[in-house]
Structure 1
Amino acid sequence: MIFSKKEKPRRTITIKKEIRDSILSYCKMNHPNECILVLRGKSRKGRVLVEGLVIPPFFHTGPTFAGFPHSFLPFDTSYIGTVHSHPSGVAKPSVTDLHNFFGFVSIIIQSPYEDGDIFAYDRDGNLLETTISSD
């Protein structure tokens, strides 16, 4: 008898327009260093909605890294992932990005930080569908 695996549906990511604008501005302000933010929102049935941002406490950044100690982040069930920039202009997640995955989604913004420079990934490094909401 042959059993088929039921494929898990891929997550879809929706980012509110004002949140997208804030992320892009933050990346531009911190260039040429990487920047990092924690995403707040909701995840339901594979649909992730990004509704807010948090600057993580004690974050550290440089031209090729950005991070923060997770233990200092106050407990909040609305954390859904992180967003960080890649000043190099390449938005693929690094091995370090995947090993430090936090939440449901990791969003990478590549330089020059414009509308088409936003990419979302799951914890396996698979590209996720991303849309911007005008609500």
Structure 2
Amino acid sequence: MFFKNKKFERKVLLDKSVLDSIVTFCKMKHPNEGILILKGKSKNGQIKIDGLAIPPFNFTGPTFAGFPHSFLPFDNSYIGVVHSHPSGSAEPSVTDLNNFFGLVSLIIQSPYDDDSIFAWDSSGNTIPLSINDENETEKN
């Protein structure tokens, strides 16, 4: 029997409240990088991010951020990582790609605002990112 492999076009939906938390956290950690775990769901190529977690025993500096994955409690809602680049570049580094975690990596560049966050896959390709404002969906 032959199976057809559906090719899903990936898309990231980020809740506005989560984006606000990321921006605040990264501004607080500046001039060091900040790192957070993304929580959410993925279905048919659509990745919906609706929460964050601070990784235990994380370590950061002006040019690096990481955490030991072995200390993470098991949680099926972990779908990726977000970290900041205080240098102002949102491009993933080789180290970022080699330490990829989950389905998506978000990078927010300085000056840390709504327009300075980008989504990447494990190969370093961009993924379309849109902000989901809960207040607008409640009105409709």
- Relative to the length of structure 1, the TM-score reads 0.94
Give CA deviations for 1:59-103 in whole Å, capped at 9, x if unaligned.
000000000000000000000000000000000000000000000
Equivalent-residue separation in structure 2 for 1:92 and 1:10 (angstroms):
21
SS at match of 1:50: strand
AA aligned to 1:133 is N
Match of 1:111 in 2: 110
AA aligned to 1:71 is S
Equivalent-residue separation in structure 1 for 2:101 and 2:72 (angstroms):
12
Cα shift at 1:7: 8.0
Cα shift at 1:10: 2.9
Question: Percent identity of the aligned residues?
Answer: 62
Match of 2:69 in 1: 70
Match of 1:134 in 2: 133
Aligned structure 1 segments of 4 or more residues deviating by more than 2 angstroms: 6-10
SS at match of 2:41: strand
Match of 1:120 in 2: 119
Equivalent-residue separation in structure 2 for 1:76 and 1:7 (angstroms):
27
Q: 1:91 to 1:7 in 2, by over 3 A?
A: farther
Equivalent-residue separation in structure 1 for 2:102 and 2:116 (angstroms):
21
Match of 1:3 in 2: none
Match of 2:12 in 1: 13
- Relative to the length of structure 2, the TM-score reads 0.90
Specify every segment of 5 or more residues in structure 1 that has no aligned partner in the other structure, as ranges.
1-5
Specify every segment of 5 or more residues in structure 2 that has no aligned partner in the other structure, as ranges.
135-140
Cα shift at 1:11: 1.1
Give CA deviations for 1:26-73 in whole Å, capped at 9, x if unaligned.
000000000100000000000000010000000000000000000000
Cα shift at 1:9: 2.9
Which residues of 2 match residues 19-30 of structure 1 at below 5 A?
19-30=18-29
2:52 paired with 1:58: no
Match of 1:97 in 2: 96
